[in-house]
A and B are shown apart, each in its own frame.
Chain A
Amino acid sequence: MTQLLSVKDLKVNFKTNLGEVQALQGVSFDLVMGEVTAVVGESGCGKSVTALSIMKLLPTPPGCIVSGQVIFDGQDLLLKNEKEMRKIRGGSIAMIFQETNTSLNPTLKVGTQIMEVLQNHSELPASEKKQRALEVISMAGLPDPEMVYKQYPHQLSGGMKQRAMIAMALAGGPRLLIADEPTTALDVTIQAQILELLQELKQNLGTSLLLITHDLGIAAGIASRVMVMYAGKIVESGTAGDIFHDPGHPYTRGLLDSIPRPGQRQKLSPIPGRPPDLINPPQGCAFWPRCGQAMLICRELPPQATNLAGSHQVCCWLTHRYAFNNY
Chain B
Amino acid sequence: MSENSYTFLIMLILSICFYIFMFIDVSRKGDSQMGYFLRRALTSLLALWLIVTITFTIMHLIPGGPFASEKKLPDAILRNLEQRYHLNDPLYKQYAGYLINLLQGDLGPSFKYENRTVNSIIREGFPVSAALGSLAIVLSLSAGILAGTVSALRQKRWQDYTVMTMATFGFSIPSFILAGLLMYVFAYKLRVLPSALWGAWQQAVLPTLALAALPTAFIARLVRSSMLEVLRLDYIRTARAKGLSESNIILRHALPNAILPVVTYSGPLIAAILTGSFVVEFIFAIPGLGRWFVQSITNRDYTVILGVTIFYSAFLMLMNLIVDLIYIAIDPRIKLFDSKEV
- Residues of chain A having any CB pair with chain B under 8 Å: 55, 57, 82, 85-91, 94-95, 97, 99, 102-108, 116-117, 120-121, 147, 150-152, 154-155, 165, 168, 172
Q: Is the CB of B342 within 8 A of A150?
A: yes
B interface residues, tally (CB under 8 Å): 23
Say how far A74's CB is from chain B's closest CB, in angstroms: 20
Say how far A319's CB is from chain B's closest CB, in angstroms: 37
Question: Does B190 make an interface contact (CB < 8 A)?
Answer: no
Question: Does B89 make an interface contact (CB < 8 A)?
Answer: no
Name the CB-closest residue of B to A101: B234
Q: Is the CB of B237 within 8 A of A57?
A: yes
List A contacts of B332 (CB < 8 A): 106-107, 152, 154
Instruction: Mark the stretch among B31-39, B77-85, B160-168, B241-249 that contacts chain A.
Output: B241-249
Given A106-B257, A151-B342, A154-B332, A89 contacting B240 (CB threshold 8 A)? yes
State the 4 A-B residue pairs at the shortest beta-carbon distance, nearest first: A90-B243, A89-B243, A90-B242, A102-B234
4 more A-B residue pairs beyond the given contacts A82-B246, A86-B245, with a C-beta to C-beta distance below 8 A? A57-B237, A88-B243, A117-B243, A168-B242
Given A107-B256, A152-B333, A94 contacting B241 (CB threshold 8 A)? yes
Name the CB-closest residue of B to A165: B238
Given A105-B253, A108-B253, A116 contacting B238 (CB threshold 8 A)? no
- Residues of chain B having any CB pair with chain A under 8 Å: 233-235, 237-246, 248, 252-253, 256-257, 330-333, 342
Q: Is the CB of B244 within 8 A of A116?
A: yes
Q: How far is the CA of A117 from the CA of B243 in the complex (A)?
A: 8
Q: Is the interface of B mostly helix, strand, loop or mixed?
A: helix
Say how far A188's CB is from chain B's closest CB, in angstroms: 23
> Per a CB cutoff under 8 Å, which of B233, B242, B246, B330 touches A116?
B242
Complex A-B: 7 CB contacts under 8 Å: A95-B241, A97-B234, A97-B237, A103-B237, A107-B331, A121-B243, A172-B242
Q: Give the one of B239, B253, B257 with max A CB within 10 A.
A: B239
Given A152-B332, A154-B332, A155-B342, A104 contacting B243 (CB threshold 8 A)? no
Name the CB-closest residue of B to A92: B243
Q: Is the CB of A99 within 8 A of B241?
A: no
Q: Give the one of B233, B234, B235 with max A CB within 10 A.
A: B235
Given A105-B253, A107-B257, A152-B332, A99 contacting B234 (CB threshold 8 A)? yes
Given A106-B333, A150-B342, A155-B342, A90 contacting B241 (CB threshold 8 A)? yes
Name the CB-closest residue of A to B252: A108
Q: How far is the CA of A91 from the CA of B233 in the complex (A)?
A: 22
Name the CB-closest residue of A to B242: A90
Q: Is the CB of A86 within 8 A of B333?
A: no
Q: Is the CB of B244 within 8 A of A97?
A: no
Q: How far is the CA of A105 from the CA of B252 in the complex (A)?
A: 10
Q: Is the CB of A89 within 8 A of B241?
A: yes
Q: How far is the CA of A123 from the CA of B243 in the complex (A)?
A: 15
Q: How far is the CA of A267 from the CA of B2 in the complex (A)?
A: 84
> Per a CB cutoff under 8 Å, which of B241, B243, B246, B248 touches A87?
B243
Q: Is the CB of B331 within 8 A of A106?
A: yes
Q: How far is the CA of A99 from the CA of B233 in the complex (A)?
A: 10
Say how far B123's CB is from chain A's closest CB, in angstroms: 40
Q: Is the CB of A120 within 8 A of B244?
A: yes
Q: Is the CB of A102 within 8 A of B242?
A: no
List A contacts of B244 (CB < 8 A): 86, 90, 116, 120
> Per a CB cutoff under 8 Å, which of B234, B243, B245, B342 touches A103?
B234
List B contacts of A99 (CB < 8 A): 234
Q: Is the CB of A91 within 8 A of B243?
A: yes
Name the CB-closest residue of B to A82: B246
> Per a CB cutoff under 8 Å, which of A82, A94, A103 touches B235?
A103
Q: Is the CB of B240 within 8 A of A57?
A: yes
Q: Is the CB of B243 within 8 A of A102?
A: no
Name the CB-closest residue of A to B240: A57
List A contacts of B242 (CB < 8 A): 89-90, 94, 116-117, 120, 168, 172
Say how far B95's CB is from chain A's closest CB, in angstroms: 49
Q: How far is the CA of A85 from the CA of B252 in the complex (A)?
A: 20
List B contacts of A152 (CB < 8 A): 332-333
Name the CB-closest residue of A to B341: A150
Name the CB-closest residue of A to B245: A86
Say how far A294's CB is from chain B's closest CB, in angstroms: 39
Q: Is the CB of A106 within 8 A of B235?
A: yes
Q: How far is the CA of A155 from the CA of B342 in the complex (A)?
A: 9
Q: How far is the CA of A116 from the CA of B342 in the complex (A)?
A: 21
Q: Give the one of B244, B245, B330, B331 with max A CB within 10 A.
A: B244
Q: How far is the CA of A154 from the CA of B335 in the complex (A)?
A: 12
Q: How far is the CA of A249 from the CA of B246 in the complex (A)?
A: 43
List B contacts of A91 (CB < 8 A): 243
Q: How far is the CA of A87 from the CA of B253 in the complex (A)?
A: 19
Name the CB-closest residue of A to B241: A95
> Per a CB cutoff under 8 Å, which of B235, B241, B246 touches A105?
B235
Given A86-B243, A94-B241, A151-B342, A102 contacting B330 (CB threshold 8 A)? no
List B contacts of A117 (CB < 8 A): 242-243
List A contacts of B240 (CB < 8 A): 57, 89
List B contacts of A108 (CB < 8 A): 252-253
Say how far B300's CB is from chain A's closest CB, in angstroms: 51
List B contacts of A168 (CB < 8 A): 238, 242
Q: Is the CB of A104 within 8 A of B238?
A: yes
